[in-house]
């Protein structure tokens, strides 16, 4: 099959029988649901840009498995150039959507599972690597979107999976059959899960012998029997249900998506199993995936940051404050912070190296430094954007007020719409509506639905700040740095 277009991708979702629940009810036509559809539009862009000659080099690659052209989101990195192009592709898509385009997790999972299964087979004589190569070939040839699912609900954070009161709090194997396994549990906070054709499941933490039944990796269709999803709420999400509210939405076309994915005794055939109780490789898989995904944030968050900076500059223009020196300085600081994030994403890519399996791994230390910066800098970028925008960003009336023809009983005889447009106008030559649109867009990206894919996700996506600090401590090689100091200081022991 050739590369799908965005329209073909959307139509392919209609063929799935994915079970989706929202607001306490089953959603039958989730593809066209106004709350869900913007996130589907985001994924569709990843398909359409692969057909644009201007972006073909970033959006596509040649598969090392088939020799055919594939979407880069289904590609195994073959060089540091591939790693850099990944980050540049993610920045491009952030610029195009100002939201989360949801396919990064699957791409990062592919590369992590590919190298880990190779080394697991080498140690245990298993056949997981061939299973995965067969699976990824299927994904590439059908141009599928795959949700990489790692995070379990976790329950009591002070207890390991096997110590939890409810064993299902971490996804685990409940039965091993001759033809496959049966799994039970859930994956939480899953980005793009509902919009994906398939799910690629991984363990969430390093594990010991006592937790081996939780050390499982596999793939399954999103509509497999026993699997259902509960859509996660976002701030201002019900605005999408309001009539004629596109100004209030801020970002009408695009949005992110997260869900709880529940597995109620789901059967997985043997050829789709990539880890089954080999607990000694759970930590490797988690560490490699986390590294790739922390690299990703040096691209996607930077692309969205580009749009935030542009929106803040526009707000300054429309407010008549663009010439103020402090506004110029704030825009410079936002740009400095954003490009620093990009530097880290490119740096950990440039310092990448081949794994035993042959695909390329990023520099783990620099990837974790990248994500540690992402837990801080977008918050400052958003703070400065809100500063420039002004309080009207969160206090303005609704679109319905600005367009209302209701007569106000005053001497002037003006309508509600005329009054609101009169008092919220900015500089000459800019309509009140355009001023409101850019302020609503900033509200959406700083506080509303898109904040999930920018601000809040910058903190918790790909692991909390402490997770990166643990990895920085491991990778920082303080012992070697001590030796450097000893040599120069003339210390002999």
Q: In percent, how much of the chain has pLDDT > 90? A: 96
Q: CA-CA-CA-CA torsion for 393, 397, 400, 403, nearest 10 degrees?
A: -90
- In this model, does residue 314 exceed pLDDT 90? yes
pLDDT the model gives residue 455? 84
Residue 22, in any domain of the structure: yes
Answer yes or no: do 246 and 385 share one domain.
Answer: no
CATH, residue 308: 1.20.140.10
Residue 213, in any domain of the structure: yes
Mean predicted confidence (pLDDT) in 5-9: 98
Residue 489, in any domain of the structure: no
- In this model, does residue 1 exceed pLDDT 80? no
Answer yes or no: do 336 and 265 share one domain.
Answer: no
Q: What is the mean pLDDT of the chain?
A: 96
CATH, residue 157: 2.40.110.10
Tell me the C-alpha distance between 417 and 407, whole Å.
9
pTM: 0.96
Residue 488, in any domain of the structure: no
Answer yes or no: do 427 and 297 share one domain.
Answer: yes
Residue 182, in any domain of the structure: yes
Query: Regarding beta strands 216-221 and 273-276, do their DSSP bridges make them parallel or antiparallel, or are they unpaired?
Result: antiparallel
- In this model, does residue 456 exceed pLDDT 90? no
Q: What is the pLDDT of residues 15-52, one digit of tens each?
A: 999 999 999 999 999 999 999 999 999 999 999 999 99
Task: Read off the pLDDT band of 452 (50, 70, 90).
Answer: confident
Answer yes or no: do 215 and 328 share one domain.
Answer: no
pLDDT the model gives residue 376? 97
Q: What is the pLDDT of residues 184-237, one digit of tens each?
A: 999 999 999 999 999 999 999 999 999 999 999 999 999 999 999 999 998 889
pLDDT the model gives residue 490? 97
Residue 65, in any domain of the structure: yes
Answer yes or no: do 273 and 293 share one domain.
Answer: no
Q: What is the pLDDT of residues 222-276, one digit of tens each?
A: 999 999 999 999 888 999 999 989 999 999 999 999 999 999 999 999 999 999 9
Q: Domain boundary at 280, 300, 319, which?
A: 280
pLDDT the model gives residue 448? 79
What residue numbers bound the domain in which 38 lies? 6-280
Q: Domain boundary at 248, 280, 312, which?
A: 280
Answer yes or no: do 274 and 341 share one domain.
Answer: no
Mean predicted confidence (pLDDT) in 142-155: 98
Task: Read off the pLDDT band of 370 (50, 70, 90).
Answer: very high
Q: Domain boundary at 226, 253, 280, which?
A: 280
Q: What is the pLDDT of residues 457-487, one digit of tens each?
A: 899 999 989 999 999 999 999 999 999 999 9
Give catalytic residue positions.
100, 104, 191, 258, 293, 297, 300, 457
For the chain, give the longest Cα–Cα distance: 92
Residue 161, in any domain of the structure: yes
State the total domains in the chain.
2
pLDDT the model gives residue 301? 97
pLDDT the model gives residue 457? 86
Mean predicted confidence (pLDDT) in 308-332: 98
Answer yes or no: do 13 and 107 share one domain.
Answer: yes
pLDDT the model gives residue 2? 82
Answer yes or no: do 158 and 33 share one domain.
Answer: yes
Q: In percent, how much of the chain has pLDDT > 70? A: 100
Structure tokens at 353: 């190296």
Answer yes or no: do 235 and 302 share one domain.
Answer: no
SS (H, E, C) the chain: CCCCCHHHHHHHHHCCCCCEEECCEEECCHHHCCCCHHHHHHHHHHHHHHHCCCCHHHHEEECCCCCCEEEHHHCCCCCHHHHHHHHHHHHHHHHHHCCCCCCHHHHHHHHHHHHHHHHHHHHHCCCHHHHHHHHHHHHHHHCCCEEEECCCCCCCCCCCHHHCCCHHHCCEEEEECCCEEEEEEEEEEEECCCCCCEEEECCCCCCCHHHHHHCEEEEEECCCCCEEEEECCCCCHHHHHCCCCHHHHCCCCCCCCEEEEEEEEEEEEHHHEEEECCHHHHHHHHHHHHHHHHHHHHHHHHHHHHHHHHHHHHHHHHHCCCCCHHHHHHHHHHHHHHHHHHHHHHHHHHCCEECCCCCEECCHHHHHHHHHHHCCHHHHHHHHHHHHHCCHHHHCCCHHHHCCCCECCCCCCCEHHHHHHHHCCCCCCCCHHHHHHHHHHHHHHHCCHHHHHCHHHHHHCCCCHHHHHHHHHHHCCHHHHHHHHHHHHCCCC
Residue 313, in any domain of the structure: yes
Answer yes or no: do 209 and 352 share one domain.
Answer: no
Tell me the C-alpha distance between 108 and 85, whole Å.
14
Answer yes or no: do 190 and 254 share one domain.
Answer: yes
Answer yes or no: do 259 and 309 share one domain.
Answer: no
């Amino acid at each position: 099959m050739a590369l799908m277009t965005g329209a073909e991708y959307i139509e392919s979702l209609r063929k799935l029988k994915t079970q989706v629940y929202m607001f306490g009810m089953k959603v039958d036509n989730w593809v066209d649901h106004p709350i869900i559809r913007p996130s589907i539009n985001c994924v569709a862009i990843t398909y359409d840009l692969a057909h644009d000659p201007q972006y073909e080099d970033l959006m596509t690659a040649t598969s090392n498995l088939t020799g055919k052209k594939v979407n880069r989101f289904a590609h195994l990195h073959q060089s540091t150039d591939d790693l850099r192009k990944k980050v540049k592709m993610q920045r491009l898509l952030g610029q195009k959507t100002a939201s989360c385009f949801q396919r990064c997790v699957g791409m990062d999972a592919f590369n992590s599972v590919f190298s880990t299964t190779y080394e697991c087979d080498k140690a245990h004589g298993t056949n997981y690597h061939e299973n995965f190569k067969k699976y990824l070939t299927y994904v590439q040839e059908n141009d599928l979107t795959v949700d990489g699912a790692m995070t379990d609900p976790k329950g009591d954070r002070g207890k390991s999976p096997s110590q939890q009161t409810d064993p299902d709090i971490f996804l685990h194997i409940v039965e091993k059959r001759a033809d496959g396994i049966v799994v039970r549990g859930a994956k939480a906070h899953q980005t793009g899960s509902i919009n994906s054709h398939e799910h690629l499941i991984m363990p969430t933490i390093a594990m010991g012998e006592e937790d081996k039944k939780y050390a499982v990796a596999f793939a399954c269709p999103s509509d497999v029997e026993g699997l259902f999803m509960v859509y996660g709420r976002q701030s201002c999400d019900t605005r999408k249900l309001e009539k004629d509210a596109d100004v209030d939405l801020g970002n009408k076309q695009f949005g992110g998506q997260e869900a709880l994915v529940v597995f109620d005794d789901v059967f997985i055939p043997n050829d789709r199993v990539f880890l089954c109780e080999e607990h000694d490789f759970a930590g490797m898989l988690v560490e490699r995936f986390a590294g790739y995904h922390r690299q990703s944030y040096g691209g996607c968050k930077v692309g969205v940051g580009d749009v935030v900076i542009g929106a803040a500059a526009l707000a300054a223009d429309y407010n008549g404050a663009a010439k103020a020196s402090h506004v110029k300085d704030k825009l410079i600081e936002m740009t400095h912070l954003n490009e620093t994030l990009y530097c880290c994403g490119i740096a950990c890519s440039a310092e990448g190296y081949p794994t035993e399996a042959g695909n390329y791994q990023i520099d783990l230390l620099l990837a974790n430094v990248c994500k540690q910066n992402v837990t801080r800098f977008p918050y400052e970028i958003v703070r400065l954007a809100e500063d420039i925008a002004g309080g009207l960003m969160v206090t303005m009336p609704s679109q319905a007020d600005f367009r209302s023809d209701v007569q106000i009983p005053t001497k002037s005889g003006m309508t509600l719409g005329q009054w609101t447009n009169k008092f919220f106008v900015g500089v000459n030559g800019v309509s009140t509506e355009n001023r409101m649109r850019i302020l609503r867009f900033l509200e959406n990206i700083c506080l509303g639905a898109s904040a999930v894919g920018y601000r809040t996700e910058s903190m918790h996506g790909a692991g909390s700040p402490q997770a990166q600090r643990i990895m920085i401590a491991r990778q920082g090689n303080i012992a070697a740095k001590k030796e450097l100091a000893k040599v120069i200081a003339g210390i002999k022991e």
